[in-house]
Structure 1
Amino acid sequence: MNTLKKYLALIILAFAIIFNLILYRAEVTIKGDPNDNIFQYSLVHRTNWVWENYGCPLSLQCLPNLVDHNVTYWAEGYALPFYYSHLPQITIVASYKLLVSPVASFARHSLGDGGSFTLYQYYNWTKYLLLSLIPLPFFLAFIIVGFPIIPSAIAAFFASHLSTDGLYGIDPPSSLWRGWGLTSQLYAVIFMPLALAFTFKAAKKITATANSKITNLFHLHPAFWAVVFLTLTTAGHLGIGIITLLSTTPLIFLDLNKTNIISRIKQLFLIYISLILVLSYWIIPILLYNNYHIVSFWDPIWKFNSYGWFEVIRQYLNGEIFDWQRLPLVTSLVTLGFFVLLLHKEYLIFAYIFALMMLFYFGRTTWGGLIDLIPGMKDFHLHRFIVGVHATSLFLLPLSIEFLFSLTSKITSFFQEKIKKTKEIQAVFPWISPIFNLILISVIAYLTVNQTVKYNALNHRWISEANSAYSYDEKNFLDLLDFLKEKPQARIYAGRPGNWGHDFRLGSSQIYMLLSVYGFDMSQFLPETWSMMSENDQNFDERYAMDYNLLNLRYIIAPKNQDFPQTAQMVKKFGPYQVYEIPTSGWFDVVESPMFVESDKTNFLNLVYLWHRSYPRTWKMHPLISVEKNPSVPPGMKKQIKMIDEVTYRENNRTKNIFADFPFVFPEATVSAKISQEKVNKQTYSAKIDVPKNCRNCVFMFKMSYHPNWNVVVDGKQVEKYAVFPMYVAAKAKPGSHTIEVTHQPHPLKTFLLYSEILAIPLLFIFRKKLTKSPPI
């Protein structure tokens, strides 16, 4: 019977995966994305660029640059891998370069097929397979925990069929083309259930059981696998990693024995510390340089604060968290499972974990500043706790389904006792309960899956329509790309979401989105809002030539009948795509900086906005600025102010308002410098600059978002760098002719920690092996 149950469970699991593979098959045919996958694939594209330009995989420059490089595509450049998850992108590129591309090339030559398997196609296949395989990690997690095998398989089936109105959970709309395209979340969710399951086993201190060989895979303690899967979850998406870590904290109270509680605290502490050590090269620099990772005002407040207890409870009771636009069947199963687990001593803790995730999902709207006491919560999008609610709710389903099975069995037994027994009835009765269970689950599954199928039917159809529309002007677009590749490197303006750019598309993808996918530096499109220039970038006005110069926007791609400055000249036309060029000073300029501003990472934003349209800015007065706690103020400053909040500043011990008072100074003259021999080599930007005489407080301004990773060399010598309005890299400039090089380099601390880990982890394994082999004293 146990063997039969195993085979039946595997059949259910296989059906769930195959069903997904068939349902989502259109995802591998996508030509252009309309959602966050534009951002995700652009990161893959940039990682591929690093791989090709830094001698990967053998060069010593390879690994540091893979984990810490400048992504130039948006918001005037930003060291995204410094803060954002990057291991999924590295994994995709490495596997493509080392395995997939050679195999595809060999197959192509062997079969005589002229087509190629591109990195973008491979990326689409990876997210398609991950999305289709979602039931697998949940099934394995349920088995590891010890839930009954058939209910576990059925519960895993439901993992792919949650339904919300775009709440960013683990429901299909979060990942599909028609939905949000949250592929980075998918990288984490695929490991999340295994992380929770192994941490549960580790907390129980079970090292070997006869009925769960998975928990002792390779004879390693479940705590080891807890660290592995928690690390993979966190590396996939830092936010989901934090949610997963918080979901494991109730495991301390598996029972209320004081000794056991202390033991579990120690064990979980070791698991958490191990995770931090493995990812220390990433986590420690984030904590130390968090002041260069801003909080955007463009993100709606509900993302940071979530919805509050009333709205969350309303969503739950209306079935909007699990069953949007269908009967609340999964909601009912989750509710039933919650109460079943409350009466189940061994698995009671999963009900508490689910309740904890619901409490966190209430967000700052309910808990106020109290939630900020938890590390990492202050800048976190608390609405993303929906992922924790979804993932932990699925751990309630196996015993909920098992309870239904036991209930039907009791009902069957009751009628069996009441009905007169004959040989025929005796033969039929054992089958009544399984058949009734099959009918019950089939009805629930059909009514649940029907919504997923309906949603995906439009997804499938719209992908086909978008691909057809994409193909219509694809040749013109590719010709445009070839033309731009031959031009000197500079930023491109192709509209923005709030103007004509929204409807300027190829297929269903805006041109300003697509160009970044092909590695071009864009402005006015913000798929990320963490760069120090993210907010200031949006001060741009397409009617003013000086704004193009400020952002080094040398090229404009636009449809016909658009009004640009007179200095913008149309140079080429490719079907509906008109190309304009507008003169700029390039990546460098010389400006005067006679004042200094001290601020935190957000209080300077209104000040920059005010400066952007001020006369001092018109005359090239760019204040120096620092977001450090104790900044180094260069000598010769005419004015020094400190921002207290978004509109208030202190000057000479007096409190002033940026709108009521004049916070700036005027330059002595408008600086005019000669810039020549500008070059871009990998992540190094260089030029020859002639600075005019009598240029006091002048600085070289490099038009990239400031970050400590930038290194400035003037006339062959490294010099001190500053941040200058709007938030660019700068260095002091003296009159005369100079050469300048500005290079983005992996942070030394990050490089040191990375190589230290690579050396330390094998040594720890060797040390562990010696300890286990050592005879007892």
Structure 2
Amino acid sequence: MDDAPDLPARWARLALGAAALTLTASAVPGFFLGDGAPYGNDNSSHFAEILAVADHLRAGETDFWFDQTNLGYPLFVAYQPLPALLMGALVALLGGAVAPLLLFKLSIVLLWALMPVAWYAGARALGMDRLGALFLGLLLLVVNDFRAFGLGLSSGLANGLYTQAWGALLLPLALGHAWRFVVRGEGGPGRPALLFAATALSHAFLGLYAGLAAAAMVVVRRAGAAARARRLAAVVALAAPLLAFWLVPFLANLEHQGGLPWKSESENGYALATLARRAASGALFDHGRLPWLTYLALAGAVAAWRRRADVDRWLLVLLAATAALLLGPTTWGPWYRALPLHGELEVIRYLAGLHVCGLALAALAARRAVPRLRAFLARASGPAWLSPDRTLAAIGVVVLAGFLLGTWGHGRRYLRSFDVGERGFAALRERLAADTRSRFLVHGRLGTANHFFLNLLPALAGRPQLESYARGYHDTPSVYYLEYFDWSPSAFSLYNVGAAVARGGRGERLPDGFRETWSHGELRLLEPPEPPGWFAFVRTPFTVVGDARAVRRLLRVSAVRLYEKGVLPRLAERDPGTGDRIVVGPDGRVTRVALAALADGEPTGESVARALASYAPGPPRSRVLEASRGRNEYRALVEAAGGEDLLLKASHHPYWGVRVDGAPAELLRVAPHLMAVSVPPGRHEVVFRYRNPTYQKALFAVSAAAFAGGPLAGLARRRRAGVTERAGR
């Protein structure tokens, strides 16, 4: 690059190895000792899912329902599957020979120790020389943004963005090998297809961004665009079947995903002036310090505009597209949400894309500055033994030493753990595990809203907890309704909450029947005399018709009030044309009301509310005799009086099925986002069972075979080539 001498390969390897060893050393010994669970907001939820996958695999289950938070949701339908599948399989395979928490922490450190190596390798495939690639690999560890949500140690470790770290490890390799094939026409489509698929399966957004970056490769210049488009199409054609086992169910079930009711700048994007102000202040790359990396990226952008080589053009096009998408609906309006896969996307995710472009430009700027620095040193006077090359090497050693010291400090700051064997937490876990007939509640109002209580505690206790934000953006519309949890006795019953964990005296909002049953220090457990139970009988005299998101505003309050009367409406997407029903339009407004309890005339919000309040059939006559919860299923023995439906207090999903006395029955979707089944009079056994579709399992077998066979086939080709070369000598 710029005709300057490159860094010797052994020096690049030495610097990368030093970075990896420094980060690893920063975690020793404290991070790995004892029963410590890693800090980082999302780490606990990822570890909980790994444990759940391992438990399912040990039991021979190939259906994956996760019931520990948010009323339950399906694994591997909405969220990226690869990290949890691989780590869960490893935990199951080792069978306790290595503690699962230790394996999880080892994987965190290994991911970040290898991160500079992966970015170095990706940069080399993009055409950077060794010094430029080394700059990029090392700069990744020092980027620091105001939301700790992009790339870099602060987001990966402080926020616990575990699957994003997997995706970030694979992304540069996918982009580098795509560049070699799509732009240069070198090699074949197999390797970039495998890497693209692995990136998307590790982190959905980074997979989406890899697709955007690959599309930008097609337009780096006008000449040859058609050929590049054909090569990219070949990559997509090979990657699609690898992704199909996850992508097909994902796209088929979009309406059953996501659901936070509130959205701020992080979800809706930034005004142009706000984004420009943050960029100028250094908040995007240098939060809390002098904006040196921001200026370096800016210098790289200016140099790229002047030079305009293929890689420069590509980075500038990608940077412009990324910045535009980071503006989100705040700037572009409702059409933004009409973009493919952007309906529920957190716009702040594009901050990671901004880091990809900015760090690459900064690395190019740093590389181009080296020969200029050498020329300056050559002009400067000094002793004969202190040559420009020796001076430059000394500067490099000092800079690398400072970088390593900073990396060690960041590792010590972020690689910390919480002792789950601590007496109070361990005793609470055992107390909760003793009775799993209901969910428990932790909450900010109770002083127990950190991720160890929200996600780790239910995983270790084997007892579901009501709500977690870690997966609120992704997996189930139930989160919307849980955000409006009103602390009434009916809400506790509707969601089967039979315990609450509080600190100190924070329990005044709990229903009157809750009494303290255990305490340790500030921690208190409060429980009613009897848990509400996983099942209840209700009447479903009318139907609410509309899109799953459109009906939320109507149901978020009315569902709990109706349940108090023993009533819940059925839910349908299409108007049945008969019976009592309320039809809701796409904007959430009621467009038609056909209720027997509503007098003639134009329906108003008040009159509809009065009509709903008139449904008061009294307590149910049917009884739940026995109930149990297992992997992917709930069972009940009931005595039904007829005319009432059996409600299961778990998130509805179309992959659930239900049988009454062994015979298939119709699964009903009822408010707010639960399931029910009609039961005829008499004593019956009812079984709700979750099953991933057979086609998904078949597609997974194809994908697994391709991921295993692709590298093996490549190795076989290299061996054959080596044999041929030796034979020709």
TM-score, structure 2 as length reference: 0.87
5 Å-filtered alignment, 1:676-691, equals 676-691=625-640
User: How far apart, CA to CA, are the structure 2 residues paired with 1:513 and 1:765?
Assistant: 36
Contact 1:127 1:183 in 2 (8 A): yes
Aligned pair in 2 of structure 1 residues 159, 512: CA closer, same or farther (>3 Å)?
closer
Residue aligning to 2:646: 700
Is 2:370 the counterpart of 1:405? Answer: yes
One-letter amino acid matched to 1:142: A
Matched, 1:53 2:1: no
Is 1:73–2:39 an aligned residue pair?
A: no
Deviations 1:499-521 (A, max 9, x none): 4434xxxxx76534432231320
Which residue of 1 is the match for residue 448 of structure 2? Answer: 501
**Partners of 2:375 and 2:707 in 1: CA distance:** 54
CA 1:197–1:308 in 2, change beyond 3 Å: closer, same or farther?
farther
Cα distance, 1:283 vs structure 2: 0.8
Alpha-carbon contact 1:148-1:398 (below 8 Å) kept: no
Q: Distance in 2 between matches of 1:404 and 1:767?
A: 42
Q: Deviations over 1:150-176 (max 9, x none)?
A: 232133111111122224011211122
Kept after mapping to 1: 8 A contact 2:458/2:464: yes
Tell me, yes or no, if structure 1 residue 535 matches structure 2 residue 486. Answer: no
Whether 2:286 is the aligned partner of 1:323: answer yes
| CA shift in 2, pair 1:138/1:654, >3 Å | farther
| 8 Å CA contact retained: 1:607, 1:658 | no
Counterpart in the other structure of 2:89: 94
Answer whether contact 1:592 1:620 (CA < 8 A) is retained: yes
> Where do 1:200-215 residues align within 5 Å?
200-207=179-186
Using the alignment, how far apart are the partners of 1:500 and 1:93 within structure 2? Answer: 31
How far off its partner does 1:545 sit? 3.1
- Mapped to 2, the partners of 1:516 and 1:264 lie a distance apart of 50
Distance 1:757 1:326, change over 3 A: closer
Q: Structure 1 residues 722 and 716 mapped into 2: Cα distance closer, same or farther (>3 Å)?
A: same
Matched, 1:357 2:322: yes
Q: Is the 8 A contact 1:12 1:154 kept in 2?
A: no
Question: Aligned pair in 2 of structure 1 residues 475, 499: CA closer, same or farther (>3 Å)?
Answer: closer
Q: What is the CA-CA distance between 1:23 and the residue it aligns to?
A: 3.4
**2:657 aligned partner:** 711
**Alignment match, 1:435:** 391
Residue 311 of structure 1, aligned match among 267, 271, 274: 274
**Which letter does structure 1 place at the counterpart of 2:439?**
R
| Matched residue type, 1:52 | R
Residue 435 (structure 1) shift: 1.6
Q: Is the 8 A contact 1:647 1:659 kept in 2?
A: no
Contact 2:58 2:92 in 1 (8 A): no
The one of 128, 132, 135 equivalent to 2:113 is 132
> Are residues 618 and 128 of structure 1, via their aligned partners in 2, closer, same or farther at CA, if it must alter by over 3 Å?
same
Distance 1:535 1:659, change over 3 A: farther
- Does the 8 A contact of 1:306 with 1:364 survive in 2? yes
| Equivalent position of 1:381 in the other structure | 346
2:690 to 736, 744, 747: 744
Matched, 1:12 2:7: no
Q: Verify: 1:728 aligned to 2:709, yes or no.
A: no
Whole-angstrom distance in 2 between the partners of 1:133 and 1:153: 13
> Could you tell me how far 1:453 is from its partner in structure 2?
6.0
The count of corresponding residues between Structure 1 and Structure 2 is 696
Instruction: Indicate conservation of the 8 Å contact 1:327/1:447, yes or no.
Output: no
2:44/2:452 contact within 8 Å kept: no
Conserved 8 A contact 2:259-2:479: no
Q: Distance in 2 between matches of 1:766 and 1:523?
A: 45
Aligned residue for 1:191?
170
- Counterpart of 1:249 (choices 196, 215, 236) is 215
After TM superposition, the structure 1 = structure 2 runs for residues 396-475 of structure 1, keeping only pairs within 5 Å, are: 396-412=361-377, 415=379, 428=385, 431-433=387-389, 435-436=391-392, 438-439=394-395, 441=396, 458-459=413-414, 463=416, 467=419, 474-475=422-423
1:571 Cα offset (Å): 4.3
Give percent identity, aligned residues only. Answer: 17
Aligned-residue offset at 1:455:
5.3
- In the TM superposition, residue 613 of structure 1 has moved relative to its aligned partner by 5.2
Partners of 1:347 and 1:520 lie apart in 2 by 52
CA 1:238/1:442 → structure 2, altered by over 3 Å: closer, same or farther?
Answer: same
Aligned equivalent of 1:587, options 492, 510, 534: 534
Once residues 766 and 183 of structure 1 are traced to their aligned partners in structure 2, the CA distance between those partners, rounded to angstroms, is 28
Q: Secondary structure of 1:134's match?
A: helix
CA distance in 2, matches of 1:573, 1:399: 59
Partner residue of 1:182 out of 161, 164, 174: 161
2:104 is the alignment partner of 1:123: yes
Return closer, same or farther for 1:365/1:583 CA change in 2, 3 Å cut-off. same
**1:600-623 deviation line (CA, Å, top 9, x unaligned):** 122222222231453x43211100
Match of 1:521 among 449, 460, 464: 464
Change (3 A) 1:475 1:761: closer
Instruction: Please give the secondary structure, in 1, of the residue aligned with 2:689.
Output: strand
For the structure 1 residues 735 and 96, does the alpha-carbon distance in structure 2 shift closer, same or farther, using more than 3 Å as the test?
Answer: closer
Matching residue's letter, 2:463 = F
What amino acid sits opposite 1:690 in the alignment?
A: E
Question: 2:539–2:568: 8 Å Cα contact kept in structure 1?
Answer: yes
What one-letter code is carried by the residue in structure 2 that aligns with 1:8?
A: W
In structure 2, give the amino acid aligned to 1:251: M
Distance in 1 of aligned mates of 2:261 and 2:645: 30
Q: Work out the CA distance in 1 between the residues paired with 2:274 and 2:240.
A: 35
Q: Secondary structure at the match of 1:160?
A: coil
CA separation of 1:291 and 1:454: change in aligned 2, threshold 3 A: same
CA separation in 1, counterparts of 2:468 and 2:636?
28
1:651 alignment counterpart? 593
The answer to whether residue 548 in structure 2 is matched with residue 601 in structure 1 is yes
Query: Cα gap change, 1:97/1:320 in structure 2, threshold over 3 Å: closer, same or farther?
Result: same
Which of 25, 33, 41 aligns to 1:22? It is: 25
Letter in 2 for 1:48: A
**1:205, CA displacement in angstroms?**
3.7
Q: CA 1:767–1:244 in 2, change beyond 3 Å: closer, same or farther?
A: closer
Whether 2:170 is the aligned partner of 1:164: answer no
* Distance change >3 Å, CA 20–CA 533, structure 1 → 2: same
SS at match of 1:229: helix
Matching residue's letter, 2:9: K
Shift of 1:286: 1.3
Question: Quick one: which of 485, 491, 494 aligns to 1:550?
Answer: 494
Q: Cα–Cα, structure 1 residues 149 and 301, in superposed 2: closer, same or farther, change >3 Å? A: same
Does residue 262 of structure 1 match 2:204? no
Q: Against the structure 1 CA distance between its residues 450 and 313, is the aligned structure 2 distance closer, same or farther, given a 3 Å change threshold? A: farther
Query: Is 1:486 matched with 2:486?
Result: no
> By how many angstroms is 1:456 displaced?
5.2
Q: For structure 1, list consecutive stretches of 5 or more residues without a partner in the other structure.
A: 55-61, 106-116, 208-220, 503-507
Q: Is the 8 A contact 2:269 2:329 kept in 1?
A: yes
TM-superposition CA deviations, 1:203-256 (whole Å, max 9, x none): 12443xxxxxxxxxxxxx352221111111111110111112112211112332
* Higher alpha-carbon deviation: 703-712 or 672-681: 672-681
* 2:246 matched residue in structure 1: 282
Q: Aligned partners of 1:722 and 1:640: how far apart in 2?
A: 17
C-alpha distance 683-97 of structure 1, shift in aligned 2 (>3 A): closer
> Unaligned regions of 5+ residues in structure 2, if any?
595-599, 721-729
Map of 1:38 onto structure 2 = 44
Contact in 2 for aligned 1:553/1:582 (Cα 8 Å): no
**Corresponding residue number in structure 2 for 1:110:** none
Q: Check the 8 A contact 2:322/2:350 in 1, yes or no.
A: yes
Provide the C-alpha distance between the structure 2 equivalents of 1:453 and 1:657, rounded to a whole number of angstroms. 64
Match of 2:302 among 323, 330, 339: 339
2:639 alignment partner, SS class: strand
- Contact residue 189 and residue 238 of structure 2 kept, 8 A: no
Distance across 2 between alignment mates of 1:766 and 1:578: 54
Q: 1:388 to 1:608 in 2, by over 3 A?
A: same
Give the structure-1-normalised TM-score. Answer: 0.82
Post-superposition offset of 1:631? 6.1
How far apart are residue 443 of structure 1 and its match? Answer: 6.7
1:144 aligned to 2:125? yes
Residues 227 and 271 of structure 1 are in contact (CA less than 8 Å); yes or no, is this contact kept in structure 2? yes
Q: How has the CA–CA distance of structure 1 residues 189 and 746 changed in structure 2, closer, same or farther, with 3 Å as cutoff? A: same
User: What letter matches 2:429 in structure 1?
Assistant: L
